[in-house]
Structure 1
Amino acid sequence: MTSRTVKQLADAGTPEELFTGLWQNRPSVLDEYKTYLDDRWAEGCSNAWKLCEEIVPLGYKGSYQPVSSKAT
């Protein structure tokens, strides 16, 4: 481990501080559908394939993979 890594770990007040970076603030292709997906998940639908099929008519043009990684 480098001294920079040790300092970064020692200086972090919370674990969340270690996970900051530009990549974390990137918009997701699912941002527009987050409310819908959260509602469906709360209703008990955890089948990513079905959720993906449901958001396509709402305008989702992405692939199945981002939906499946959010559903797990």
Structure 2
Amino acid sequence: MIDDTHRLARKAILILKSYDLRVTILTKAGIRAQRDWDLLGKGDAFATTLTLLSPEDSLIWEPYAALPA
């Protein structure tokens, strides 16, 4: 992944923080996203989404999301 090499997400967070802006991260990256948690503070948010292989399970957990391909 490009972010593994260039750390673009981390650089973007640092730029936003340098302007005293809040950061909201929504990711499917799982454990990889933990590496930037040290940059988050009060007022920032982190969230992740579910990825399910079963269309039936997807409809239960994320009823308005696109179904898995």
Same fold at TM > 0.5: no
Q: Comparing both structures, which one devotes a greater share of its residues to helix?
A: 1
**TM-score, normalised via structure 1 length:** 0.29
Q: Comparing both structures, which one devotes a greater share of its residues to strand?
A: 2
**TM-score, normalised via structure 2 length:** 0.30
Greater length-normalized contact order (CA 8 Å, ≥ 6 residues apart): 1
